[in-house]
Structure 1
Amino acid sequence: MPYTGPQSVDRALEMLDAVADAGGPVSAKALARRLECSLSTAYHLLAPLTERGYLVRTAQGYALGPRIPGLQRSLMQHLEPVPRMADVLAGLRRATGAEAYYTAYRGGLITVVDTTAPVTDTGNPFTPGRETRAHATAHGKALLAELPRPVLRRYLAEHGMPRLTRATITCAEVLEAELSRVRGQGFAVSVGEVDPAYTCLAVALPRGREGGRGRDGGAVHALSVSLPTGEFRRRPQEIRAALAQAAAGCG
């Protein structure tokens, strides 16, 4: 029997995620195996996604459809983006030799909006999309430090603080002390807290704050870089200065 109601919506979204996560077109049979459902159910779920343009059916299987770029444009508008951020990221990449990132907090979610890291770089620990490791990343700390304490506590309760490496902070009180230091020094740093091999450095950008510091209605943005820890330790002041200069140019 086909899925109906909210369960059907959930499974359809799960199928859309499966296609998005694949390296290329995916057959209906493969999607049915992925979702552990019958082939007829898979087709039942695929039909509206294809009709609405979220997916397209090719000779090799199902792939993302023409509706997706429109969603990306709408997302960017809702995140109140900093103008010419692509140029800022490229300049920061040239100045530091490190991959640069633009992230945003809005409505209880953190998103990696853009990056200089190529999409083929599967070894990079920070990729565009939803960020669920804010407690361990520099860009996450920079954004969380901008939130009022009740909003911060709600965010941590909803998303948790899983241990990713030995260096990951997993206690809310310890993280709050860390965020206080972030506010005091004006930047956040994460040394091996997501990936033991990487260090990231971030600053919050004073843009798009509707109604004050990071309240649920407005967006908060951050600019960050990540690079191998050994390289960062050889020139921390240079990296920090370049990031600060790039952030100042966004004001």
Structure 2
Amino acid sequence: MSAPTRGHQATLGQGGPGPYGVLRRALRLLEAVDRHPHGATAAGLARDLALPTAVVEALAEELETEGYLCHLDGRWTLGGTLALLGRQNREELIRVRLHHKLAELRDQLGAAVYFGRYQDGELCVEAVSASDHAPAVEEWVDFRATAHASAIGKCLLGQLDHDGRRDHLARHPIARLTARTITDQEQLMHRLERQPATVPVLDIQEYSLGTVCAAVPVTAGATVGCLATSMPVERVHHLKYAAELLAAQAAPLMLAMAV
């Protein structure tokens, strides 16, 4: 199945606050299908969920591409992916799906894509999808120690509470990496506290000269994560589009990690 068009994505987003609304509707749709062991039509599911049939159909088609739903003889049933969840290979399944998603995004953007997570008090870049034509940023200073200067780091710190940020910065003191790096802790804290959750976090040559980055939150359950991309500064005019695409794809990624 081809990738959703912009119009398709807009349909999925109707009636809710961004990616979190899409995630909630997807989970409710899976629950509704589960209540019909012999399958249910899109019209029947729409009545169950009090949603327009077109919205249910679009969301069901998206879930079908991920293996969560199956369409047969005009009825929707649960797909094979759900049967694998909860088994010993669940983590491996999620890892494979994550890398597949990142590779799709890399090819769409023509730029490296990353998934980062804040876990056990540390920043971790868990997955990177890069290629010869979309190289990853060179980790010239350990990412774990430079959250203050990277889009990934600032996006993750922004999802912590005030004390969590203070604790991290106490363990990883701010250091100047480029002339653009914020080195004043209070200024950094102020920016993190004022950063809207729906606005992508940017790094304009703060971690590495010649590189710009963008990151958006990916929050599922207890996961504090983010989706990010990096590209040469010569492509800075593409960064806004890249950030919008990351934000649009955050919902499917959240679903993959939450279900």
Q: In which range does the TM-score fall when normalised by the shorter chain?
A: 0.5 to 0.7
The residue number in structure 1 matching 2:201 is 188
Judged with a 3 Å threshold, the aligned counterparts in structure 2 of structure 1 residues 82 and 232 are, in CA distance, closer, same or farther, namely: farther
Count of matched residue pairs = 161
1:1-251 to structure 2, matched below 5 A, reads 84-117=97-130, 124-126=137-139, 131-209=144-222, 219-233=223-237, 235-251=238-254
Q: Distance in 1 between matches of 2:227 and 2:198?
A: 15
Q: Identical aligned pairs, as a percentage?
A: 30
Displacement of 1:236: 3.0
Cα offset, 1:185, TM superposition: 4.3
RMSD after superposition: 2.6
The normalised TM-score by structure 1 is 0.58
Partner Cα distance (1:126, 1:195) in 2: 9
8 Å CA contact 1:200–1:226 kept in 2: the answer is yes
Question: What is the one-letter code of the residue matched to 1:237?
Answer: K
Query: Structure 2: which 5+ residue stretches go unaligned?
Result: 1-89, 255-259
Which structure shows the bigger proportion of residues in helix conformation? Answer: 2
| One-letter code aligned to 2:206 | E
What is the alpha-carbon distance in structure 1 between the residues aligned to residue 240 and residue 212 of structure 2?
Answer: 14
On the 8 A contact 2:136/2:230 being kept in 1, the answer is no
Moved over 2 A (4+): 121-127, 180-186
Structure 1: unaligned runs, 5 residues or longer: 1-75, 210-218
Read off the aligned partner of 1:104 and give its amino acid letter.
Answer: R
- 1:187-245 CA-to-partner distances (Å, cap 9, x unmatched) read 21000001110001001111141xxxxxxxxx411110000112022x23321221112
SS at match of 1:196: coil
Cα separation, 1, equivalents of 2:250 and 2:170: 30
Post-superposition offset of 1:151: 1.1
Q: Distance in 1 between matches of 2:131 and 2:177?
A: 24
